[in-house]
Amino acid sequence: MTTATPTGGRPRGFDEETVLDRATEVFWRHGYEGTSLSVLTSAMGINRPSLYATFGNKEQLFERAFARYHETQAANARAALDQPTAYASIEAFLRASADGLTDRAHPAGCLSIQGGLACSPENARISEILAAGRAATEAALEERLTRAAKEGDLPDGVDPRALARFVMALSEGHAVHAAAGASREDLQASVDIALRALALRP
C-alpha cells in the first residue's frame, strides 16, 4: 500500500485581494472601532480562522487595508503633482481629491479620516497609522511646492510648508463634508474659491 505525500496546505477558497478590498470598505464605512469581527467576516465572506490565518488580527488587517488604500491615493497624488506649475499641481490635486471623495464606487469621504481619527487609548496605533498616511501626502505636496519656490514659480514670501498644510486642510475638510453628503459640485465650487484666493496662477 502506498500513500501520497502531501504537497502543501489546503488551498484558500478566496482571492486575498478581493476580500481585503471588502474589509477596506467596511472600515471606511464604520471606522476601526465601529467595525466588529462578525461584520468583517460577513462582508469578506470568510470565517474567523481564515481571517486570522491570512491577515492576522483586526489591527493587522486594518493596517494592510489602509496600506492598499493609501497606495492608490498616493499614486493619484503623484499624478496630480506632476503638473508643470505649482498652481496646476494644486488644482489637479484638489479637483482629483474632490472627485475621489464623492465617487459612488466606494463610500463617500476618506478612509484616512473616517477610519479612526479619534480612537480609544488601546487603539492609538490606528490613529498613528492614519496620521502617518496623511503626513506622507502632505510631505509630497511640500516637496513639490519647495521645488516650485526654487524655480521662482511661487510668489515671494509664500512658505511651501504652510501652503502644503493649507491644501491638505482643505482636502481633509472636504472629506468630512463628503461623508456628510456634500456633492461633487459642492466640493468643486469650494475648490474654485480656494484657487481664486490663492492667486498663484502664473
Helix H or strand E encompassing 70: helix 58-80
The label of the residue with cell 502664473 reads: 202
For 75, other C-beta atoms within 10 Å of its C-beta total 10
The pTM of the full predicted model, rounded to 2 decimals, is 0.86
User: Is 156 exposed, middle or buried (CB count within 10 Å of its CB: 0-12, 13-18, 19+)?
Assistant: exposed
Report pLDDT digits (tens) over 61-72: 999 999 999 988
CB atoms within 10 A of CB 84: 10
Amino acid sitting at position 98: A
Span 86-127, pLDDT tens digits: 999 999 999 999 999 999 999 999 999 988 777 888 889 999
C-alpha of 2 from chain center: 54
What are the tens digits of pLDDT across the range 136-155? 999 999 999 999 999 999 99
